Amino acid sequence: MRRNLDTHSPYSELIGRTIVSTDPEGKAIEVSYEAREQFTNRMGTVSGGMLSAMLDSVTGLAALIALPEGLTAVHTTLRVEYLRSVRPGRLTGQARVISTGDRDIQSQGELIDASGTTVARGPATLRILRKTGS
């Protein structure tokens, strides 16, 4: 079930993604993100859209480590609860799979700031697909 999650896409580079740890047996992952100054709104806090992108990333990665090779998953829903505003800097994303069915996989993720405070969290549902053209 080992996947190459270290491959970077333009999207992962934009959000400053670094894999910290994976636990395929526990279907969990920890990821570091860099919330850059360019991600801020007019109040100087990180835009909710960028936090949402980071939750999309970490919940998707949790699903990927839980699936066998040959399968992938794409988000069908992501619900985000914004708990606190956050300034630019390093954020930690943690997610784990909470259920897997024949067609869908559900994960739960959260973003934590440098002080250990959860700033956003939410569940995601992803559709399980067979990889094509691999």
**Cβ proximity of 119 and 82 under 8 Å:** yes
Strands 28-35 and 89-100: antiparallel
Cα–Cα distance for residue pair 73/41, rounded to 1 Å: 31
This prediction has a pTM of 0.92
**Cβ proximity of 7 and 18 under 8 Å:** no
Task: Using alpha carbons, list the distances in angstroms from residue 59 to 37, 41, 83.
Answer: 24, 24, 18
Task: Using alpha carbons, list the distances in angstroms from residue 104 to 46, 61, 80.
Answer: 31, 14, 19
Render pLDDT for 58-100 as a digit per residue (tens, 0 to 9). 999 999 999 998 999 999 999 999 999 999 999 999 999 999 9
* CA triple 58-3-49, angle to 5 deg: 20
Render pLDDT for 34-64 as a digit per residue (tens, 0 to 9). 999 999 999 999 999 999 999 999 999 999 9
Complete domains list, the chain, with CATH: 10-130 (3.10.129.10)
Token readout for 97 is 């799979």
Q: Is the pLDDT of residue 134 over 60?
A: no
Instruction: Kindly report the backbone phi and psi dihedral angles of residue 78, in degrees, each rounded to the nearest multiple of 5, phi listed first.
Output: -150, 120
Cα–Cα distance for residue pair 16/34, rounded to 1 Å: 5
